[in-house]
C-alpha cells in the first residue's frame, strides 16, 4: 500500500507553521478546508464559533473557567519521616485551588549525606582500591589508606556497604587509568587526562525545572555537597519537590565494564505539607521550611525506606505586592527552539534564579488580524488552570504593548514527532507508555471541561527522563460539558474525526479518535487513513476499512478499533475516560503510580542538562535569538482584551 511508504516531512518544511484558514477550497467534503500539508493545524474561521464573539475578553473566559467543575482527586497517602515531616507518595493533585501559599522563590541548600550505599555490586580488587586511594580528593589520604588497608585485609568479605565508607565521592582521575571505556576511541581525550569524576550527584526537580548538583568531597557514604540552588515556584500548593541521588560508577569497577549511573535513593515531598508543619508560617515573608534537617532516602518506585539520608535546608520567599512585575528584560535569550503560528519559541534563562525556560512570544497585532484572540487567551487560561504531570507547566505570563509572552518549563527531550521520525515506529511497550500518559493528560483536561482537539506527535514533547509533556493549547475549547457539542473546524487533517469532517457538531470524544490515530501511527509509522492528497484522505477517514499490519496483537487492535469508531456515540470513552482505562489493553496499569511518574520511561532521550538543545532541530537553533522590535499600534479597546494576561502563579500580587 502506498501510504505505508510516506516519507515524513518536517512540519516546518514549507512555512507551514501558519494555521491554515478556511479560504482553502474544500474539494471533497463540503465546508472542509484543504491544505497541502496534511500535518498542518487547521482552523476554519467561517464556521469557527470559538471566534464569533471577537469582543469576548480574557475576563469572560476567566469567569467561564471559574464555573468549571473541578474533578479533584487529591488523595494522598502520608507517612512520617522523623515523625514530623510528611512525605507524600500518593496521587498528584490536578488543579490549583488553594492559594494559602503564594508563589515565590524556593532556595534549597544541600549540605551532605550520611550512610549512602552503593546499590550494585562492584568489581573491586586490591589494585583498584589502592589506585582509588591515591586518586581520592578532599580527603585525608593517610586516613583513607589506613582504612583501605583494613578493608584489603578482609576484601573477600567486603560488602558494598563497607566500600561506600571508604571510596571517595569525588575522584580526580586520569581518564585512561580508571575508565578505559571513555577513551578507547578517542586519542585526544586520553591526552587530556586528568578529569574530575563526581561519583555522587543529585537531581533536584520541582515544577518541571531541574538542577544537577555534584559531590565535592568526602566518601560515597558521607558525601559533601554544600550546594545552593533557587527555583521559581508558581503553584506552591501543588509543587512536589523531588531529590534523586545517583552514583556514576566507572566501568572498571563494574562487571559490564561500562560506566553506569545508578539511583541510590530519593526524597519526594510536597511543599505545602512542609509548610503546614511550620506553625510560624507567614504568608508574605520569607520562611525557613526545613533547617539543616536529615531526611531519609526512599526507593521512589516501591516507596520502601532505604538506608541513608540527606541534610537539607529549605527557604521559601513568597512574592509580595511590592515584587517587581516581570518583563522580557528579566530573561536572557539563549536559543530559538521552535516556531508557532504567531511567533517564536526560545530557550531563555531567568536572570535572578538562573533557571532555564521556554519563552513563547506572540505578536498581538497578528492574533488580532487573524481573529485568534480568543484561542490565545484560552491557551493561557488552560495552561494556568491545569496541573497535570503530563502537560507543560506555565510559569509566568506577561505582556508589552506589542506582544504577549508565555514562560513555560523548558522540555528538552525533543518532540515525539522527531523521535518517531528517527525510529519510524515504536515498540508496543513504548507506544503504550506514551498513550497512558496522554490519556491521563486528556483526563485532566476533560475533567475541567476542556477539549484538546489537536493531539499529534508534533504537540507532544519528551522531558529529559522520557515522560511526555503535552504543549500547544491554542486549539483547546473550554466550557465543554459532557456531551456538549461545538462546530469549529480545526485540527490536523490526518487526525480529524469523521464527525468533524461531516460538520455536524462534535463533542469531547474527538480527543479519543485522535488518541486512536496516534496509537496506530506510533505502532505502524503512519496514521491509518493517510494519503498525500488531503481530499482523498478525508474520504478514507469517512469510508475506508481500518486495516492493521500482521504484527499488531488482538487486544491492541480491539482498543484502536473502539477508539476509531466512526459513530461518536458508540466510541470508547463516550461514558468517560474511565471506560478507556478499563479496556484490557490497560489492565496492568496502576494509574496512581503512572500519575506519580512512577513508571520508568522505556526510552530516555539523550539530554545532558537543562541547557541541552541537541534534541531540537538545528533549523531553529541556528537562528539568532532575539525579541524583534515591532512598532504596532493597537487601540485602547484592543489592548483591553489582554487586560488579565499577567500570570505569576496561583496568586496575582
Ligand atoms: N515548553 C517547551 N519546551 C520546549 N519546546 C517547546 C516548548 N513549547 C513549545 N516548544 C516548541 O516550539 C514549537 C511551537 O510551539 P507551539 O506549538 O506551542 O506554538 P504554536 O504557535 O501554538 O504552534 P502551532 O502553529 O503548531 O499551533 C513546539 O512544536 C515545540 O517544538
Q: Is 454 a catalytic residue?
A: yes
188-199 pLDDT per residue, tens: 444 445 566 778
Q: Specify the residue for cell string 581525550.
A: 189
Instruction: Give the cell for residue 24.
Output: 482553502
Fill in the DSSP letter of residue 203.
E
Q: Give the max Cα distance, the chain.
A: 85
**Pocket probe mutation, ligand 1, options 20, 39, 339, 340, max atoms within 8 Å of Cβ:** 340
pLDDT confidence of residue 37: 61
Task: Please tell me which residue in 454, 463, 511, 531 is annotated as part of the active site.
Answer: 454
Question: Which residues, 6 or more positions from 241, have their beta carbon under 8 angstroms from its beta carbon?
Answer: 106, 108, 204, 205, 206, 267, 268, 269, 270, 271, 314
Q: Which atom of ligand 1 is nearest to the CA of 458?
A: 29
What pLDDT was estimated at residue 650? 60
Binding site members = 364
User: Do residues 480 and 507 touch, judged by C-beta distance below 8 A?
Assistant: yes
Give 473 Cα–ligand 1 centroid separation in angstroms. Answer: 9
For ligand 1, what atom is nearest to the CA of residue 379?
22
Indicate the pairing of strand 104-114 with strand 223-233. Answer: antiparallel
- Give the nearest ligand 1 atom to 408 CA: 1
Ligand 1 atom at minimum distance from 343 CA: 21
* CA 197 – CA 137 distance, rounded (Å): 10
Residues with CB under 6 A from ligand 1: 17, 19, 41, 337-338, 340-342, 345, 358, 360, 392, 408-411, 415, 458-459, 461, 471-472, 474
As beta bridge partners, residue 21 has none
DSSP state of 647: B
Q: Split the chain (653 residues) into runs of 10 and give each run's mean pLDDT.
A: 27 30 29 53 51 37 31 22 29 39 92 88 68 53 57 50 73 52 40 65 89 88 93 87 89 80 89 67 78 88 80 92 88 91 88 94 87 85 88 92 94 93 96 98 96 92 94 89 87 92 93 97 96 94 96 97 97 96 97 89 89 85 84 83 81 44
In angstroms, the Cα distances linking 581 to 103, 250, 436, 572, 588 are: 34, 43, 9, 10, 10
Cβ atoms 117, 164 nearer than 8 A: yes
Q: For a substitution probing ligand 1, which of 10, 17, 360, 462 has the most ligand atoms within 8 Å of its CB?
A: 360
φ, ψ for residue 136 (rounded to 5)? Answer: -55, 145
Q: Whose CA is nearest to atom 28 of ligand 1?
A: 338
CA distance 476 to 449: 10
For atom 20 of ligand 1, the residue with the nearest CA is 340
- Nearest CA owner, ligand 1 atom 10: 338
Q: Whose CA is nearest to atom 18 of ligand 1?
A: 472
| Nearest-angstrom CA–CA distance, 340 and 11 | 11
pLDDT of the residue at 142: 57
Helix (H, G, I), strand (E, B), or coil: what is residue 118? coil
- Ligand 1 centroid from CA 479, angstroms: 24
In 401-557, which ranges are E strands?
403-409, 460-462, 468-470, 489-491
The strand pairing partners of 95, in sequence order, are 386
Taking the CA atoms of 256, 171, 120 and 434 in sequence, report the sign of the dihedral they define.
Answer: negative
Look at ligand 1, atom 30, and give the residue with the nearest C-alpha: 338
In 3D space, the residue among 289, 322, 285, 283 whose CA is nearest the CA of residue 102 turns out to be: 283
Which tens digit of pLDDT belongs to each residue from 2-45?
222 222 223 333 323 222 222 222 223 333 444 556 666 766 54
Whether the pTM exceeds 0.90: the reply is: no
Cβ atoms of 632 and 364 within 8 Å: the answer is: yes
* Radius of gyration of the chain measured on its C-alpha atoms: 27
Distance 275 CA to ligand 1 centre (A): 35
- Ligand 1 center to residue 71 CA distance, Å? 28
Ligand 1 centroid – CA 70 distance (Å): 27
Mutate to test the pocket of ligand 1, among 338, 416, 454 (most ligand atoms within 8 A of CB): 338
d(CA 341, CA 375): 12
**pLDDT score of 408:** 94
Relative to the CA of 475, which ligand 1 atom is closest? 27
Q: Which grid coordinates are listed for 189? A: 581525550
State the distance from the centre of ligand 1 to the C-alpha of 459, rounded, in angstroms.
7
Residue the block writes with cell 543529585: 202
CA dihedral sign, ordered 271, 276, 282, 284: positive
Question: Ligand 1 atom closest to Cα of 415?
Answer: 31
Q: What residue's CA is closest to ligand 1, atom 15?
A: 340
**Annotated binding-site residue numbers for ATP:** 364
Q: How far is the CA of 471 from the centre of ligand 1 (A)?
A: 6
d(CA 311, CA 297): 11
Q: Is 624 exposed, middle or buried (CB count within 10 Å of its CB: 0-12, 13-18, 19+)?
A: exposed
What's the burial of 200, exposed, middle or buried (CB within 10 Å: 0-12/13-18/19+)? Answer: buried
* Ligand 1 atom closest to residue 412's alpha carbon, by position in its atom list: 4
CA of 342 to the centre of ligand 1 (A): 10
Q: Angle at Cα 186 formed by Cα 183 and Cα 187, nearest 5°?
A: 105
Nearest CA to ligand 1 atom 12: 338
- Residue 35, pLDDT score: 52
Enter the ipTM: 0.97
Closest CA relative to residue 646, chosen from 366, 371, 394, 368: 394
Distance from C-alpha of 362 to C-alpha of 344, rounded to nearest angstrom: 8
Tell the residue nearest (CA) to atom 24 of ligand 1: 340
Pocket test for ligand 1, best of 10, 344, 472, 618 (most atoms within 8 A of CB): 472
Pair 468, 438: CB distance under 8 Å: yes
Amino acid at each position: 500500500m502506498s501510504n505505508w511508504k510516506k516519507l515524513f516531512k518536517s512540519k516546518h518544511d514549507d512555512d507551514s507553521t501558519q494555521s491554515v484558514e478556511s479560504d482553502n477550497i474544500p474539494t471533497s467534503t463540503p465546508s472542509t478546508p484543504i491544505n497541502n500539508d496534511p500535518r498542518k493545524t487547521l482552523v476554519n474561521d467561517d464556521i469557527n464559533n470559538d471566534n464569533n464573539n471577537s469582543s469576548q475578553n480574557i475576563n469572560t473566559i476567566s469567569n467561564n473557567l471559574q464555573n468549571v467543575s473541578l474533578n479533584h482527586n487529591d488523595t494522598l497517602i502520608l507517612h512520617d519521616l522523623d515523625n514530623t515531616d510528611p512525605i507524600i507518595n500518593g496521587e498528584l493533585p490536578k488543579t490549583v485551588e488553594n492559594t494559602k501559599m503564594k508563589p515565590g522563590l524556593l532556595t534549597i541548600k544541600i549540605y551532605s549525606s550520611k550512610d549512602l550505599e552503593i546499590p550494585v555490586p562492584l568489581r573491586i580488587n586490591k589494585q583498584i582500591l589502592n589506585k582509588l586511594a591515591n586518586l581520592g580528593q578532599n580527603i585525608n589520604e593517610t586516613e583513607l589508606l589506613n582504612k583501605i588497608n583494613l578493608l584489603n585485609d578482609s576484601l573477600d568479605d567486603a560488602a558494598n556497604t563497607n566500600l561506600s565508607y571508604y571510596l571517595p565521592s569525588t575522584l580526580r582521575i586520569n581518564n585512561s587509568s580508571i575508565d578505559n571505556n571513555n577513551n578507547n576511541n578517542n586519542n585526544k581525550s586520553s591526552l587530556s587526562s586528568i578529569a574530575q569524576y563526581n561519583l555522587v550527584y543529585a537531581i533536584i526537580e520541582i515544577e518541571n525545572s531541574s538542577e544537577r548538583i555534584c559531590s565535592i568531597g568526602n566518601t560515597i557514604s558521607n558525601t559533601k555537597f554544600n550546594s545552593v540552588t533557587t527555583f521559581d515556584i508558581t503553584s506552591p500548593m501543588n509543587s512536589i519537590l523531588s531529590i534523586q541521588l545517583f552514583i556514576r560508577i566507572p566501568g572498571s569497577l563494574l562487571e559490564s565494564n561500562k560506566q553506569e549511573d545508578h539511583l541510590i535513593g530519593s526524597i519526594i515531598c510536597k511543599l505545602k505539607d512542609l509548610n503546614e508543619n511550620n506553625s510560624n508560617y507567614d504568608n508574605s515573608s520569607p520562611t525557613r521550611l526545613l533547617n539543616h534537617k536529615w531526611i531519609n532516602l526512599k526507593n521512589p518506585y516501591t516507596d520502601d525506606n532505604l538506608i541513608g539520608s540527606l541534610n537539607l535546608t529549605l527557604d521559601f520567599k513568597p512574592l509580595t505586592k511590592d515584587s517587581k512585575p516581570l518583563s522580557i528584560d528579566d530573561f536572557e535569550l539563549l536559543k530559538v527552539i521552535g516556531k508557532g503560528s504567531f511567533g517564536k519559541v526560545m530557550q531563555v534563562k531567568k536572570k535572578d534564579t538562573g533557571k532555564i525556560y521556554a519563552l513563547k512570544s506572540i505578536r498581538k497585532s497578528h492574533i488580532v488580524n487573524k481573529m485568534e484572540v480568543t484561542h490565545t487567551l484560552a491557551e493561557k487560561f488552560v495552561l494556568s488552570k491545569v496541573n497535570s504531570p503530563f502537560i507543560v507547566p506555565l510559569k509566568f505570563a506577561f505582556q508589552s504593548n506589542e506582544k504577549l509572552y508565555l514562560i513555560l518549563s523548558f522540555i528538552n527531550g525533543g518532540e515525539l514527532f522527531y523521535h518517531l521520525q528517527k525510529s519510524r515506529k515504536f515498540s508496543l511497550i513504548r507506544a503504550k507508555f506514551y498513550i497512558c500518559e496522554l490519556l491521563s493528560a486528556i483526563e485532566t483536561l476533560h475533567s475541567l471541561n476542556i477539549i484538546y482537539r489537536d493531539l499529534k506527535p508534533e504537540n507532544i514533547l519528551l522531558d529529559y527522563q522520557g515522560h511526555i509533556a503535552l504543549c500547544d493549547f491554542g486549539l483547546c475549547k473550554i466550557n465543554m460539558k459532557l456531551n456538549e457539542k461545538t462546530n469549529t473546524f480545526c485540527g490536523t487533517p490526518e487526525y480529524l474525526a469523521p464527525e468533524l469532517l461531516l460538520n455536524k457538531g462534535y463533542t469531547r470524544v474527538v480527543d479519543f479518535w485522535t488518541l486512536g490515530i496516534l496509537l496506530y501511527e506510533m505502532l505502524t509509522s503512519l496514521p491509518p487513513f493517510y494519503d498525500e492528497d488531503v481530499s482523498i484522505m478525508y474520504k478514507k477517514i469517512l469510508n475506508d476499512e481500518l486495516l492493521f499490519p500482521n504484527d499488531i496483537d488482538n487486544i491492541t487492535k480491539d482498543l484502536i478499533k473502539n477508539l476509531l469508531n466512526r459513530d461518536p456515540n458508540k466510541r470508547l470513552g463516550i461514558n468517560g475516560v474511565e471506560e478507556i482505562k478499563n479496556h484490557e489493553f490497560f489492565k496492568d496499569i496502576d494509574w496512581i503510580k503512572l500519575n506519580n511518574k512512577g513508571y520508568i520511561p522505556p526510552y530516555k532521550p539523550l539530554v545532558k542538562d537543562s541547557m541541552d538543545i541537541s534534541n531540537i532541530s538545528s533549523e531553529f537553533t541556528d537562528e539568532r535569538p532575539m525579541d524583534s522590535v515591532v512598532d504596532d499600534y493597537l487601540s485602547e479597546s484592543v489592548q483591553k482584551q489582554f487586560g488579565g494576561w499577567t500570570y505569576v502563579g496561583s496568586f496575582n500580587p
